[in-house]
């Protein structure tokens, strides 16, 4: 393939959902380029990241990245989830929680609480949304292991320079590009020729990639032993290494706890994975008792070391949600050529899973307006959303 009408850079939820919307418009002349060997970006699972044959099935569908969504305040994402026929269930919060304060000798049990609005999870994990959207696509032009490293403007055409899985160079010419990588990643992994306007480049660079500096530890058990002890699996700790712990069990499938590491990324980088896992295991035993020792499998996912999610700026900057930059470039030679569509480009919900749907929808609508001026055979996507 040498050319396509549209190039989509990034195969997380935003890139895949944009491809889905394009196909609804009747546009199949696009190519989606994903740098990693698998789709999903920050919605991954042990199954999506590893060789499935090597994993026990009950270990497969846990969320390593995004986990929860809030249907009451994220109705568009809720509609998409229902449209794809995916089942949801609430985060288990029934029972007491454990608090481990630095100045207390022993972790304490306290009354738990049920979040409101409810935090929902997907049966099959959030990666099942990725699979559902990817499976809905007709196009064979979804290329994994293809990292875009340069975007060059040649008159009115845009050339995407790509490194293939075998390390070869590939070039694809397109009319428009949907950037479905976090804005900061789009400035670090891709060179632009000619340069993007300074204010655009800086505004992209300034955006924190949501959760990029975080790491998750997952411990899988035979049964959710904490529930029979009247515990919800929720815990908070000042002592760490896990700061916030939750029940990660999958109904009728598997029992597990997961926690976010509170140790900063720079401290983690000085330790081996083996050491970090040993510290997490010891903490679970200290907080949940001796049964927590009977871990069947455990998994550590450090997003700070994932070069297509996190940069040195994410590790050292503050970690809040940034305001979304403009999804389009309003003047100069790049005008109407690049459209930012990853979650961080969502004005409403920047950084969230729902933001990926929002930003992709917004970006495709803007692109559609641009294309409608040239072609009359494109279905109005607003009628479909
Ligand atoms: C630990 C963690 C927990 C989270 N928890 C929640 C939660 O509970 N609820 C919630 O709403 N959100 C949560 N999030 C955020 C949520 O996961 C993201 O908002 C969402 O997945 C973003 O999707 P995206 O497609 O916009 O971006 P991404 O998923 O980041 O996708 C970008 C894709 O672009 C690819 N890429 C990057 N550079 C290139 C390149 N040069 N060429 C080609 N491809 C490239 C990447 O490999 C990646 O696949 C969490 C995130 C993390 C990491």
320, exposed or middle or buried, with CB in 10 Å at 0-12, 13-18, 19+? exposed
The number of CA neighbours under 13 Å toward the Cβ of 54 is 5
Nearest to 114 by CA among 230, 232, 251, 229: 232
Share in percent of the chain as helix, strand, coil (round to 5): 30, 25, 45
Here the CATH number for the domain that contains residue 162 is 3.50.50.60
pLDDT in tens, 294-306: 999 999 999 999 9
Most informative mutation of 72, 133, 353 for ligand 1 (most atoms within 8 A of CB): 353
Q: 79 and 91 share a domain?
A: yes
Verify that 134 and 108 share a domain, yes or no: no
Q: Copy the structure tokens of residue 209.
A: 């990639």
Nearest ligand 1 atom to the CA of 308 is: 37
Tokens of 339: 């459209």
Domain CATH for 247: 3.90.660.10
Query: Domain boundary at 305, 339, 358, which?
Result: 305
Read off the pLDDT band of 51 (50, 70, 90).
low
Distance (Å, whole) CA 380 – CA 50: 39
Structural domain containing residue 350:
6-42+129-209+313-383
Please tell me whether residues 97 and 28 are part of one structural domain: no
- Give the distance (Å) from ligand 1 centre to CA of residue 41: 5
Q: Count of CB atoms within 10 A of residue 86's CB?
A: 16
The closest alpha carbon to 211, from 322, 75, 117, belongs to 322
Is the pLDDT assigned to residue 290 strictly greater than 80? Answer: yes
Are 36 and 53 in the same domain? no
Least confident range from 41-50, 233-242, 373-382: namely 373-382
- Are 142 and 198 found together in one domain? yes
What is the CA(99)–ligand 1 centre distance, in A? 30
The verdict on residue 197 lying in a domain is yes
Tell me which of 319 and 214 has the higher pLDDT.
214
Write down which residue in 251, 285, 305 finishes a domain. 305
For residue 1, pLDDT beyond 70? no
Across residues 274-301, what is the average pLDDT? Answer: 96
Contact 86, 122 (CB under 8 A): yes
Residue 383 is predicted with a pLDDT of 46
Nearest CA-CA partner of 258 in 293, 278, 234, 228? 234
pLDDT digits (tens, 9 = 90+) for 264-278: 999 999 999 999 999
Residue 245 pLDDT > 60: yes
Q: Which pTM value belongs to this model?
A: 0.95
| DSSP summary character for residue 144 | E
> What does the pLDDT average to over 71-100?
97
Domain count, the chain: 2
Same domain, 319 and 351: yes
d(CA 191, CA 150): 5
Could you give the angle at which helices 353-372 and 75-83 cross, rounded to 10 degrees?
80
What is the arithmetic mean of pLDDT over 154-176?
A: 95
Distance 18 CA to ligand 1 centre (A): 14
pLDDT beyond 80 at 49: yes
For residue 314 the two structure tokens come to 């994410």
Q: Which residue has the higher pLDDT, 380 or 4?
A: 4
Q: Tell me, what's the pLDDT at 372?
A: 80
Task: Specify the residue with its C-alpha closest to ligand 1, atom 4.
Answer: 66
Least confident of 45-54, 214-223, 234-243, 373-382: 373-382
> Of the candidates 212, 218, 234, 239, which has an alpha carbon nearest to the alpha carbon of residue 311?
212
Instruction: Identify whether residues 15 and 52 lie together within a single domain.
Output: no
Q: Which of 54-63, 150-159, 290-299, 366-375 has the lowest mean pLDDT?
A: 54-63
Q: Which two tokens stand for residue 75?
A: 């109705």
Ligand 1 centroid to residue 112 C-alpha, Å: 30
CA quadruple 310, 311, 316, 318: dihedral, nearest 10: -50
Mean pLDDT score across all residues of the chain: 93
| pLDDT at position 57 | 63
- Ligand 1 site, CB within 6 A: 9-15, 33-36, 41-43, 65-69, 147-148, 180-182, 185, 189-190, 210-211, 214, 216, 303, 308-309, 342-343, 351-356
- Do 37 and 185 lie in one domain? The reply is yes
In a domain, 97, yes or no: yes
Token pair belonging to 41: 């970006």
3-state SS class at 120: strand
Q: Say what the pLDDT of residue 385 is.
A: 47
Same domain, 82 and 121: yes
Distance between Cα 42 and ligand 1 center (Å): 3
The alpha carbon of 111 and the centre of ligand 1 are apart by a number of angstroms equal to: 34
Give DSSP secondary structure letters for 154-209.
ETTEEEEEEE-TTS-EEEEEESEEEE-S-HHHHHHS-EEESPPPHHHHHHHHTPPP
Please count the other Cβ atoms lying within 10 Å of the Cβ belonging to residue 370: 16
Directed axis angle between helix 127-135 and helix 13-24, to 10°? 30
Which atom in ligand 1 lies closest to the alpha carbon of residue 146?
A: 43
pLDDT at 329: 93
- 133-144 mean pLDDT: 92
Do residues 205 and 138 share a domain? yes
Atom of ligand 1 minimally distant from the CA of 189: 41
Atom 52 of ligand 1, residue of closest alpha carbon: 65
**Predicted confidence (pLDDT) at residue 150 exceeds the cutoff of 90:** yes
Q: Is residue 231 part of a domain?
A: yes
Taking residues 77-92, report their average pLDDT: 97
164 & 204 share domain: yes
Concatenating the DSSP letter of every residue in 149-166 gives EEEEEETTEEEEEEE-TT
pLDDT value for 379 = 56
- Percent pLDDT > 70 in the chain is 94
Decide if pLDDT at 363 tops 90. Answer: yes
The CA-CA-CA angle for residues 340, 344, 349, to 5°, reads 120
Cβ 353 vs Cβ 127: under 8 Å: no
Backbone angles phi, psi at 245, to 5 degrees: -120, 145
What is the C-alpha separation between 254 and 336, in angstroms, rounded?
48
Q: For residue 377, name the pLDDT band (cuts at 50, 70, 90).
A: low
Residue 301, domain member (yes or no): yes
Tell whether the model's pLDDT for residue 151 goes beyond 80. yes
1 in any annotated domain: no
Write down which residue in 240, 270, 305 finishes a domain.
305
Q: Domain check: are 54 and 152 in the same one? A: no
* Helix (H) and strand (E) counts in the chain: 11, 18
């Amino acid at each position: 393939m040498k050319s396509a009408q549209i190039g989509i850079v990034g195969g997380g939820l935003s890139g895949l959902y944009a491809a889905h919307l394009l196909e609804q418009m009747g546009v199949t002349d696009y190519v989606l380029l994903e740098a990693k060997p698998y789709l999903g970006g920050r919605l991954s699972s042990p199954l999506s990241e590893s060789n499935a044959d090597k994993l026990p099935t009950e270990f497969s569908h846990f969320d390593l990245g995004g986990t929860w969504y809030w249907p009451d305040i994220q109705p568009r994402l809720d509609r998409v989830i229902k449209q794809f026929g995916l089942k949801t269930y609430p985060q288990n919060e029934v029972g007491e929680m454990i608090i481990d304060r630095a100045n207390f000798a022993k972790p304490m049990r306290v009354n738990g609480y049920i979040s409101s609005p409810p935090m929902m999870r997907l049966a099959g994990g959030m990666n099942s949304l990725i699979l559902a959207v990817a499976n809905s696509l007709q196009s064979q032009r979804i290329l994994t292991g293809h990292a875009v490293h340069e975007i060059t403007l040649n008159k009115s055409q845009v050339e995407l320079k790509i490194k293939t899985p075998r390390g070869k160079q590939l070039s694809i010419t397109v009319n428009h590009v949907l950037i479905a990588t976090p804005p900061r990643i789009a400035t670090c992994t891709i060179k632009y020729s000619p340069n993007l306007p300074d204010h655009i480049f800086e505004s992209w660079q300034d955006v924190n990639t949501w959760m990029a500096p975080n790491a998750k530890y997952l411990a899988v058990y035979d049964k959710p032993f904490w529930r029979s002890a009247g515990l919800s699996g929720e815990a908070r700790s000042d002592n760490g290494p896990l700061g916030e712990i939750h029940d990660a069990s999958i109904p009728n499938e598997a029992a597990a706890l997961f926690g976010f590491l509170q140790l900063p990324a720079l401290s983690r980088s000085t330790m081996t994975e083996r050491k970090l896992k040993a510290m997490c295991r010891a903490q679970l035993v200290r907080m949940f008792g001796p049964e927590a020792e009977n871990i069947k499998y455990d998994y550590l996912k450090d997003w700070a070391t994932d070069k297509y999610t996190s940069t040195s700026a994410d590790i050292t900057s503050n970690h809040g949600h940034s305001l979304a930059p403009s999804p389009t470039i309003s003047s100069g030679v790049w005008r109407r050529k690049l459209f930012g569509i990853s979650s961080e480009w969502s004005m409403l919900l920047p950084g969230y899973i729902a933001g990926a749907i929002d930003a992709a929808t917004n970006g495709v609508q803007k692109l559609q307006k641009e294309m409608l001026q040239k072609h009359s055979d494109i279905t109005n996507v607003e009628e479909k959303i």
